[in-house]
Structure 1
Amino acid sequence: MPRKAEVLTATAIEAMIREARETGAAPRDVADGGCQGLTLRLTPTAAVWSIRFRYADKPLRIRLGDAREWTLAQARSVAVAVRDHVEAGQGVPAEEWISLKRTAITSKGEGPAFMLRDRGPATWTLEEGREAWGAWMRREVEAGLLRPATVRNYLSVMGGPAMRTLDTRYVSRITAADIAAVVETLVAEGKRSTARDIVRVSKRFWPWMGDAGRRHLSGADTNTVAGLKAPEMGTRPQRRSPRLPAVAYMLAVAQTGVLSTSVGGAIELLIHTAQRRSSVVKARVDEFEPWAEREGWGVWWQGHRTISRDTPTEADPRHGAHALPLPPQVWWRIEAYLDFSRREAEERGVPRSPWMYPAARPRRLGDPVTHLSPHTLTHAVAAMPGVEAAPRDVRRVFATVCQRDLGVATPVVGMVLDHAHSDLREVSDGNAMTRRDTPDQMLALKAPALEAWQTAVWAERLKIDLPDSETLKSQIVAENLRQRGVTDLEAEGERRRQAAARAYAEGRTWRQRRRPTGATNPA
């Protein structure tokens, strides 16, 4: 229902339209005390004049026009004319009649000359700009120039609740002060990291919109965010600098068998090759093969790469891959794992997974089983007792040990780590040509570095004395529960038993879903 009638003014109407658009308030009606029945309908995206009254004991609501185009005087005059038309028994007038009546009133001088009122420019709103940016970035992903994770991150930041308050604003009317106000609100809520992300991504988003090829569509000024500053994060914790013993301890735990076969094998490969989590978990069985030039060695033709280097071709199916030589001790472990996974598939009577490290179950019910999640490796390492390191730290230790202790040249370290440029701290790489201007994998240069690294890790591994498997497993479980905030073990055990019983009763357990069609649950 409309509010209690009050005489509206043009200034008040503009303010109400702007408030509804900027705050995203719920739709509401405002009655004009200067004209009986005249009502302004306000929503975040529209403002419409209507005339409301009763005729022949029936309520009528007749739309007049857009309040951003109609003046207040025009709305009042046409509202009176529409009501007279209906009460004269001539029915509800058509939209064309209302439009002509408005034109006639204006031409007779009964209202101000027609003019646009608060009409936005014919350019993007922030929401439209974000959608266009997303479409452009997805095309860049298809071309191999951007990572899908980057697109998800950028869109989630610019499409977060804080920035959505500006969605209906035209880009050309958004100022640095508007974005700074969003940042300040997040800081007040204790969300400094999110506030910094908004500043970081805005400084990519606005220059893209302000590019000469799309400035006429967006209306953006690239200087809008030039002076925008991210909030300080306060006292930062000192960067963790794990040592080789921490990596060797991770390897020792992975080889004990207390973790699942896939998780343990993936951690081993990650440590021996110092590759990224996503590259390890997305490894495929057909990417591993013996190295014909060196007996006892293997090669991992890494298909997944964070930084795209072209794509495979029919003539060269390995084109664009990142090849890593695997020393004999490592290749022996890989072959043993491949034999184990093949035998396991044969015993179960199912096709062998194309993934080197398949997940235990699908991510969602009904989805196919794919590879391990990168987060699985992070959680597994975090639960190892006494390990203050993460999978990402292996790359830091590899770079440090190879350059400082093993005498491996910086360009070779960059080749192994698959860096676009050398981003290693305290070193300067002036010889990036070998990684950028040649398709040769240079396995002979990488092999000594990986062999020296494997030898160093294994020498440290032999110094580690682990508790028995049962004790180690209980320690891992306890640490995992602690990190999840579980304090009552009995209550947690009971919760899991009840959940398992419900899943079994509903036929949702993994074993039940693996049974052949038509098989029944045992009594």
Structure 2
Amino acid sequence: MATGIAEPDVKLAKKGLPAGKAAYDLNDGKTGLVLRVGRRAAKWAWRTEVAGRTIRLTLGDIDLLTLTQARALAGEAMHQVRDVRSKVDDDWVRAELVRMRVVPAPPPPEPRKETLKELLDKLDRDKHWTFAQARERYFDEVRRTKREDTWNDYRAILHAPELARFDDTKVFLITVERLAEVIAETHRSGRERRAEKLADCIRPMWTWMASSAQKLSSGVTPGVMKELKTPERSRKEAGQEDVDEDGEPGSYVPPVAEFGRILAICRAGVMHPVVAAAIELAILTVQRRRTIVNARRRDFVVEGDMLVWKIPPAHRKTALKRGDVRTHDLPLNGAARAVVERVLMRNDDSKWLFPGLRPQKAGDIVTHVNVSVLNHNTRIMPGVEASPHDFRRGYTTHTQELLDFTLFETKYVLDHNEGIDTQDVTESAYSRARRLQKKAAFLDPWIELVEQAAVAAAPLLPPPGAMRAAMTEARKPKMSKPKAKPGIAEGDEHAA
């Protein structure tokens, strides 16, 4: 057998074995290079003895390496094998072929993707807050620094079903794009004011979480929700209803007869007495919904022959911001006094005039009736279109048109500044006038007007059983107030 491999040997090997000829090996001397010629193919190989152990490697196909390249590769293998720290194996051969640019480098291995379980386990080990955890801590901060009504509003909005999908998500993983998508979905559903409230509550929550004191626990980056905005409101055509600050119809003026019908229904025994009394007081005194539900038993004081409702500044719009500590005192006569005294006579340990019927959430302390209860229970009244938002508009309109009040005079009752400019130095620094007689002059005629309407409406109401059934049915659909009430005979919806 030849002691070295020559180019003619390579050319012959590439032709393949003639029929009947046996496979053979050609050795290339000290480099350990071997040309192995078989029936199917010819390959370059390398073989050597190290400490009595034979090492064999396949270097590649005869068409892959020239004789010169095969010798160089075999020589490098022989050099490497003499170094006890080196490892000569198939991986080493592949690396050398890449280095010699005989074969291209393989693509880098793809990083192993974490499985869903591994990712969830990793997040569970992370000590940052989930949205549900952050929300409860934020509520504690809002309750400490804001009014109770503000706290209740934030709780209602941030517990909205639209946000429930984020409860178990770490807050630092919630992007502005994901929340913007939720707000856009709400907006497209027609609940444009609700979408605005979602954005208005989410932005301050994220600002608080990004503060220095909370950042380690939240992982939230400052300014991440700065660009969270609500789509523009839909264009309104002429004749379309406007909405007020709470998203309720903002242009409807209930007829006096409708005020009478609401009072008559409240007195028909078909509603919870606490809720019925609260709606009565809202009509008779035309105070804001929050003022009504926040009324405390101690706020009602008998002075001589008059019952006076001393509305605290905390329940007066913007009073705290102005530093105004005076109460807005209303004299209650006639039906207004009667409804308050009726409620005060109830044996109740609550400090609230209208205590809540149940906790808002499991574990909560029962406080006063929720402000939304007034809306919900007015909405389901048969033959009624008004909402509590419309009561003050009705008073302002009807007292000017029917009782010849001026707009300024209505402010003695409606406006907690009683028509006085908030910048009036004399008023703010010196005057402590309560103007009870003036207020009575502009409240008592209204009470008499709607009382007469209530007397006229009572005989026209459906029987109590039919009325309860209609109101129960009206509770079911989750939609804005229907135009027609189920269970009311045609033509009866505007009775009284």
Deviation at 1:299, TM superposition (A): 0.6
1:276/1:187 Cα in 2 relative to 1: closer, same or farther (>3 Å)?
Answer: closer
1:155 alignment counterpart: 158
Please tell me whether residue 473 in structure 1 is matched to residue 464 in structure 2: yes
CA RMSD of aligned residues (A): 5.3
Mapping of residues 117-266 of structure 1, within 5 Å: 130=135, 133-141=138-146, 144=147, 147-153=150-156, 155-156=158-159, 160-164=163-167, 167-168=169-170, 170=172, 176-183=176-183, 196-208=196-208, 220-222=221-223, 224-226=225-227, 228-230=229-231, 237-238=241-242, 239=249, 240-245=251-256, 246-255=258-267, 259=271, 261-266=273-278
TM-score (norm 1): 0.51
2:184–2:230 CA contact under 8 A, matched in 1: no
Please tell me whether residue 406 in structure 1 is matched to residue 405 in structure 2: yes
Pick aligned residue for 1:392 from 389, 394, 400: 389
Deviation at 1:273, TM superposition (A): 1.6
2:286–2:395 CA contact under 8 A, matched in 1: yes
For residues 124 and 283 of structure 2, what CA distance do their matches in structure 1 show? 62
**What SS does the aligned partner of 2:153 have?**
helix
Deviation at 1:152, TM superposition (A): 0.9
Cα deviation per residue 1:366-396 (whole Å; 9 max; x = unaligned)?
9998755545543443343322112232123
Equivalent pairs counted in the alignment come to: 355
For residues 398 and 133 of structure 2, what CA distance do their matches in structure 1 show? 49
Pick aligned residue for 1:484 from 475, 489, 496: 475
Deviation at 1:204, TM superposition (A): 3.2
Letter matched to residue 395 of structure 1:
R
Deviation at 1:432, TM superposition (A): 2.3
2:101 alignment counterpart: none
Mapping of residues 22-421 of structure 1, within 5 Å: 25=116, 27=117, 41-43=118-120, 45-46=122-123, 130=135, 133-141=138-146, 144=147, 147-153=150-156, 155-156=158-159, 160-164=163-167, 167-168=169-170, 170=172, 176-183=176-183, 196-208=196-208, 220-222=221-223, 224-226=225-227, 228-230=229-231, 237-238=241-242, 239=249, 240-245=251-256, 246-255=258-267, 259=271, 261-292=273-304, 296-302=305-311, 305=315, 320=325, 322-330=327-335, 332-334=337-339, 337=342, 341=345, 355-357=352-354, 372-401=369-398, 405-409=404-408, 413=411, 416-418=414-416
Please tell me whether residue 458 in structure 1 is matched to residue 448 in structure 2: yes
TM-score (norm 2): 0.53
**What stretches of structure 2 of length at least 5 have no aligned partner?**
1-106, 243-248, 478-484, 488-496
For residues 331 and 457 of structure 1, what CA distance do their matches in structure 2 show? 7
1:9/1:439 Cα in 2 relative to 1: closer, same or farther (>3 Å)?
Answer: farther
1:134–1:155 CA contact under 8 A, matched in 2: no
Deviates more, 1:123-132 or 1:153-162: 123-132
Letter matched to residue 432 of structure 1:
T
**What stretches of structure 1 of length at least 5 have no aligned partner?**
1-7, 28-40, 49-119, 311-318, 346-350, 423-428, 490-523
Letter matched to residue 170 of structure 1:
F
Percent pairwise identity: 19
Deviation at 1:135, TM superposition (A): 4.1
Cα deviation per residue 1:287-318 (whole Å; 9 max; x = unaligned)?
222234xxx322112357265867xxxxxxxx
For residues 215 and 47 of structure 1, what CA distance do their matches in structure 2 show? 18
For residues 148 and 358 of structure 1, what CA distance do their matches in structure 2 show? 18
1:231/1:155 Cα in 2 relative to 1: closer, same or farther (>3 Å)?
Answer: same
Please tell me whether residue 431 in structure 1 is matched to residue 434 in structure 2: no
**What SS does the aligned partner of 1:432 have?**
coil
Deviation at 1:189, TM superposition (A): 8.4
For residues 352 and 162 of structure 1, what CA distance do their matches in structure 2 show? 40
For residues 124 and 47 of structure 1, what CA distance do their matches in structure 2 show? 10
**What SS does the aligned partner of 1:149 have?**
helix
Deviation at 1:480, TM superposition (A): 0.6
**What SS does the aligned partner of 1:326 have?**
strand
Deviation at 1:328, TM superposition (A): 3.3
For residues 224 and 336 of structure 1, what CA distance do their matches in structure 2 show? 50
For residues 361 and 226 of structure 2, what CA distance do their matches in structure 1 show? 41
**What SS does the aligned partner of 1:324 have?**
strand
For residues 361 and 166 of structure 2, what CA distance do their matches in structure 1 show? 30
1:123–1:219 CA contact under 8 A, matched in 2: no
For residues 306 and 228 of structure 1, what CA distance do their matches in structure 2 show? 29
Deviation at 1:157, TM superposition (A): 5.3
For residues 205 and 272 of structure 1, what CA distance do their matches in structure 2 show? 38
1:211/1:418 Cα in 2 relative to 1: closer, same or farther (>3 Å)?
Answer: farther
Q: Which has the larger radius of gyration?
A: 2
Deviation at 1:431, TM superposition (A): 1.9
Cα deviation per residue 1:116-139 (whole Å; 9 max; x = unaligned)?
xxxx9x998877765664443232
**What SS does the aligned partner of 1:225 have?**
coil
For residues 281 and 130 of structure 1, what CA distance do their matches in structure 2 show? 25
For residues 260 and 447 of structure 1, what CA distance do their matches in structure 2 show? 34
Deviation at 1:268, TM superposition (A): 2.6
Cα deviation per residue 1:324-353 (whole Å; 9 max; x = unaligned)?
3224324652575268x26xx5xxxxx776
Deviation at 1:472, TM superposition (A): 4.3
